[in-house]
C-alpha cells in the first residue's frame, strides 16, 4: 500500500487495524444503558403478540425510556473522541428522529391516534438523515474519527428506518 495512487476506500488507509478510538466511561455506560430499554421493548412486543397480560405496560416503559435516552443522550452514545459542531447537530437530530421513531412504533402497536402521522414523519426524517449521513461519510472517508462516527450513525439509522417501514405496513 505504499502506492501513492490509492483508492479512497482502501481499508488500511481509512482504518488502521488494531487501533480503535477509545470510549469514555460515560459513553460506554450509555451504550450499555441503551440496550436495556430496547430489551424491555422487545419483551413487551413478544408479550403483546402472545396476548399476555401487562404487555402494554412493558411496551410503554421500554418505549418511552428508549425514546427519552435517545433524545437526551444521543450525542454521547457515538464513539467519538472529540465532536465537531456538524456532528453534534447531526447526532442531536438523529436522537430526535430515534425518539420519534420509537414512539411512532409504540403508537402503532398500541393502536393509538396519530400513529400514521408519526410513522410518516419518522420515516421521512430517518431517510433524510440517512442520505445526509451517507453523503458526509463519503466526504470524510480519510478521517478515522469521523468515519467511525458516520458508520455508527448510518447503522442506527438503517435499523430504525427498516423498523419504521415494517411497522408502517405501507412498504412491506
Residue 15 has pLDDT above 80, yes or no: no
Strands (E), the chain: none
Q: Is 114 exposed, middle or buried (0-12, 13-18, 19+ CB in 10 A)?
A: exposed
Q: What is the pTM of this model?
A: 0.74
* Region at 61 (left for phi over 0; alpha for psi -120 to 50; beta for the rest): alpha
29-57 in b/e burial notation, b at 16+ Cβ within 10 A? ebbeebeebeebbebbbebbeeeeeebee
pLDDT recorded at residue 2: 54
pLDDT the model gives residue 75 = 66
Cα–Cα dist 82/144, whole Å:
12
Residue 116 CB burial class (10 angstroms; 0-12, 13-18, ≥19): middle
- Mean of pLDDT values over 45-64: 91
> If pLDDT is split at 50, 70 and 90, which confidence band does 10 have?
very low
- 3 state DSSP class of 22: coil
Residue 64 has pLDDT above 70, yes or no: yes
Spatial distance between the Cα atoms of 68 and 41, rounded to a whole number of angstroms = 13
Amino acid at each position: 500500500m505504499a502506492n501513492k495512487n490509492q483508492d479512497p476506500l482502501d481499508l488500511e488507509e481509512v482504518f488502521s487495524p488494531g487501533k480503535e478510538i477509545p470510549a469514555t466511561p460515560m459513553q460506554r455506560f450509555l451504550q450499555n444503558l441503551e440496550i436495556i430499554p430496547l430489551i424491555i421493548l422487545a419483551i413487551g412486543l413478544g408479550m403483546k403478540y402472545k396476548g399476555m397480560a401487562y404487555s402494554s405496560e412493558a411496551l410503554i416503559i421500554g418505549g418511552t425510556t428508549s425514546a427519552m435516552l435517545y433524545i437526551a443522550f444521543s450525542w454521547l452514545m457515538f464513539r467519538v473522541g472529540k465532536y465537531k459542531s456538524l456532528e453534534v447537530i447531526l447526532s442531536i437530530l438523529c436522537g430526535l428522529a430515534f425518539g420519534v421513531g420509537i414512539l411512532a412504533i409504540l403508537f402503532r402497536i398500541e393502536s393509538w391516534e396519530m400513529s400514521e402521522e408519526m410513522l410518516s414523519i419518522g420515516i421521512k426524517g430517518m431517510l433524510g438523515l440517512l442520505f445526509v449521513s451517507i453523503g458526509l461519510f463519503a466526504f470524510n472517508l480519510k478521517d478515522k474519527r469521523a468515519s467511525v462516527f458516520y458508520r455508527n450513525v448510518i447503522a442506527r439509522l438503517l435499523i430504525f428506518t427498516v423498523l419504521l417501514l415494517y411497522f408502517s405496513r405501507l412498504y412491506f
